[in-house]
Amino acid sequence: MRNLLLTLRYDGTLFHGWQFQSNADSVQRRVEEAFHSLSGKNENIIGCSRTDAGVHANMFCCNVRTECAVPAEKIPNALNFYLPKSVSVYDCKEVPADFSARYNAKGKEYIYLIDCEPYRNPFYENRALFYPYPLDIGLINENAKDFVGVHDLSAFCSADSEVQDKVREIYECKAEKDGGLIKITVSGNGFLYNTVRIIVGTLLDIQNGKIENGSVPEIIESRDRSRAGVTARPEGLYLNKVFY
């Protein structure tokens, strides 16, 4: 029995996230089907996290315990033969038997892309949020820095979250211009459901005057979801890095 760590990227536009669902297509379903085609057995693929419908990944890690004898370096091409073009495995290596892509992860980095040009760019369709309004990078960063640190993020997660411990550490939160895009980077030791999308929505609501400038610390302290901004649309969000 081997334990293999797979690293892949995917365009999440047509998927209902990573997690297997009986009534909808998911990335996990496609990877498990591809591995079944390769090994001839039904294998359980363990992902590093869940992603929402429409969310993408530049780096997504998962592990599988298998008796498949194909050399690790040949598995990416073998799996990609069976996978749709929207999913690509680009690395595979053997890891210790007790390694878990989910529980051994030390942190993650997400990026959120905003197309702020006055006219919609078709090449960013489903891959960036179209927001054709002026954005003040300085103002965004002034407020983004207030997310850095150890906080109870109750105000920045889905209201129906059943997670009891909502304390997380945010390592970095910043915005920068990248051509016609604004890129917001958020990294931390863990994230709650919709946290990054709510952070982005809050920063945009501060930008457009719906939320008071400088109020992020008060919103965090309130632990009240209704005080934070909207949940930004999923198409601009990418799981960018996973740290082990």
| Domain finish residue from 66, 94, 122 | 94
Shared domain for 51 and 160, answered yes or no, is no
Average pLDDT over residues 123-148: 96
Query: Is the Cα dihedral 151, 230, 162, 25 positive or negative?
Result: negative
What CATH number is given to the structural domain containing 21?
A: 3.30.70.580
C-alpha distances in angstroms, 62 versus 47, 75, 96, 101, 222? 4, 14, 14, 5, 36
Under the banding of pLDDT at 50, 70 and 90, the label for residue 159 is: confident
User: Is the model's pTM score more than 0.85?
Assistant: yes
Is 207 in a helix, a strand, or coil?
helix
Shared domain for 134 and 19, answered yes or no, is no
Q: Helix axis angle, 27-39 relative to 75-82, nearest 10°? A: 110
Under the banding of pLDDT at 50, 70 and 90, the label for residue 160 is: confident
The overall average pLDDT reported for the chain is 95
Shared domain for 30 and 145, answered yes or no, is no
**Could you say which DSSP state residue 209 is in?**
T
| Domain finish residue from 57, 72, 94 | 94
Is the per-residue pLDDT at 65 higher than 80? Answer: yes
Shared domain for 70 and 150, answered yes or no, is no
Shared domain for 140 and 117, answered yes or no, is yes
Shared domain for 157 and 208, answered yes or no, is yes
pLDDT at 134: 86
Count of domains observed in the chain: 2
What CATH number is given to the structural domain containing 112?
A: 3.30.70.660
Domain assignment present for 54: yes
Shared domain for 73 and 138, answered yes or no, is no
Q: Could you give the CA distance from residue 158 to residue 68 in angstroms, rounded to a whole number?
A: 39
Residue 4, number of CB atoms within 10 A of its CB: 21
Q: What are the residue numbers of the active site?
A: 52
Domain assignment present for 89: yes
Do 120 and 63 contact (CB within 8 A), yes or no?
no
Domain assignment present for 99: no
Shared domain for 166 and 202, answered yes or no, is yes
Is the per-residue pLDDT at 120 higher than 80? Answer: yes
Domain assignment present for 118: yes
| Domain finish residue from 67, 94, 121 | 94
Under the banding of pLDDT at 50, 70 and 90, the label for residue 80 is: very high
Shared domain for 80 and 147, answered yes or no, is no
pLDDT at 215: 96
Residue 99 in tokens: 């390694």
Bridge partner residues of 91 (DSSP) = 7
The domain of 167 spans 108-243
